[in-house]
Amino acid sequence: LKVSAPAGAIDIVGPGGDGAGTYNISTAAAIVTAGCGVPVAKHGNRALSSKSGASDVLSALGVNLDADLAHVERAIAEAKIGFMMAPLYHSAMKHVMPSRIELATRTVFNILGPLTNPASVKRQFTGAFSHDWIEPMAEVLGNLGCEAAWVVHGSDGLDELTTTGPSFVAQLKDGAVTTFEVSPSDAGIATASSDDLKGGTPEENATALKAVLAGDAGPYRDIVIYNAGAALLVAGKADDLKSGAEMAAAAIDDGRATAALDKLVAITNE
């Protein structure tokens, strides 16, 4: 199934397989990015190596994951965020899902997910479960027609930008891939411990995510605005990580991020 998305749409995905069992960082960052007015065509699945994947937490937040194509496209256009459940859009994925859940470990499918967005977005902010994969994934995204991307891996093993230390980035820009490191301080954000980022069940993670969108301060908010800030940089909305994080924080604090989630829930349940 092909999905139509507005120009400038981005996918923000932590493909799983890092085994960290954190809060839903990329899902929260996607909602905040949508709150900043950037269309997010999010492609994801149920949890494989944690208790709560993107679809698990979105379902707990009230999003209807079985919404048809027309509703998903409308959500991307109007709420600025829509969620495409991988097995519904790639029939082959349906057949491998039972084996993936049984394996519950890193597989090639953790890499394929970010590379097969049904909306063919031209901008990607995606995690990798291993440092070794960031550059090859960025190269492949470029070969697939992506215009701008960050593929990231935290020094602590997270498939997101981590706040416990530096993160490794492979950036696709102007047809070339470069690699570098970033740190929370680049975004004006405090460092945290791994324990600060530990998540729970989909319901617990949904409650924590709503609290962040309602303005709760702390390590979860910090890592969300850090990752959303980087996504805004890839989307061409921010000039650097610090301004991106500030834009993300503003979208939380003035209610735009919550409004994006509310609209997504409403449209998918019509």
The domain ranges of the chain are 10-268
Q: Rounded distance, CA 96 to CA 159, Å? A: 22
pLDDT for residue 87: 56
pLDDT for residue 57: 92
Ranges of beta strands (E only) in the chain are: 10-13, 40-44, 81-85, 123-127, 148-154, 167-173, 176-182
Ranges of beta strands (E only) in 2-92 are: 10-13, 40-44, 81-85
195 compared with 86, residue with greater pLDDT: 195
Give Cβ neighbours of residue 16 (< 8 Å, ≥ 6 apart).
45, 47, 48, 49, 50, 53, 110, 113, 129, 159
Task: Convert the pLDDT of each residue in 219-263 to its tens digit.
Answer: 999 999 999 999 999 999 999 999 999 999 999 999 999 999 999
pLDDT for residue 90: 45
User: Which tokens sit at 245?
Assistant: 């994080």
Is pTM beyond 0.75? Reply is yes
pLDDT band at 18 (very low <50, low <70, confident <90, very high): low
pLDDT for residue 261: 99
pLDDT band at 103 (very low <50, low <70, confident <90, very high): very low
Third-level CATH fold of 10-268 = Pyrimidine Nucleoside Phosphorylase; Chain A, domain 2 (3.40.1030)
